Amino acid sequence: MGKLHDIEFFLYFPSEAAAGRVTAKLRADGFGVTVSPAAGGGAYWLALATRSMVPEAKELVRLRNMFTLLSSAEQGNYDGWGTPVVK
């Protein structure tokens, strides 16, 4: 069995309101989420979703599809995930 990782998922939106609408849905699904202006300036907003989980390929594919649909519905985009190595 794999080890739990604190995984971050990066979703970008054209407005704070759009990020907020998706944030509510993600929190209802058990994610921690923070919203902030995207790095590098510009008009985009980052919704950083986090979850402690075992990074299994099947679940990560399912989440990628979910994040892609949620972000597309708000004219945003899903930009992948990241996690530190857990030994």
Q: Is the CB of residue 81 less than 8 Å from the CB of residue 37?
A: no
How many separate domains does the chain show?
1
In the numeric block, which tokens belong to residue 26?
């993600």
In the numeric block, which tokens belong to residue 67?
């994040």
In this predicted structure, the answer to whether residue 1 has a pLDDT above a threshold of 80 is no
- 11 exposed, middle or buried (CB, 10 Å; 0-12, 13-18, 19+)? buried
Q: Which of 61, 87, 84 is nearest to 7 (CA)?
A: 84
Q: Does some domain include residue 62?
A: yes
Q: Does some domain include residue 26?
A: yes
The pTM of the full predicted model, rounded to 2 decimals, is: 0.92
Q: The domain containing residue 60 runs over which residues?
A: 5-10+17-43+53-82
Q: Does some domain include residue 48?
A: no
pLDDT digits (tens, 9 = 90+) for 10-67: 999 999 999 999 999 999 999 999 999 998 777 899 999 999 999 999 999 999 999 9
Q: Does some domain include residue 87?
A: no
Q: Does some domain include residue 68?
A: yes
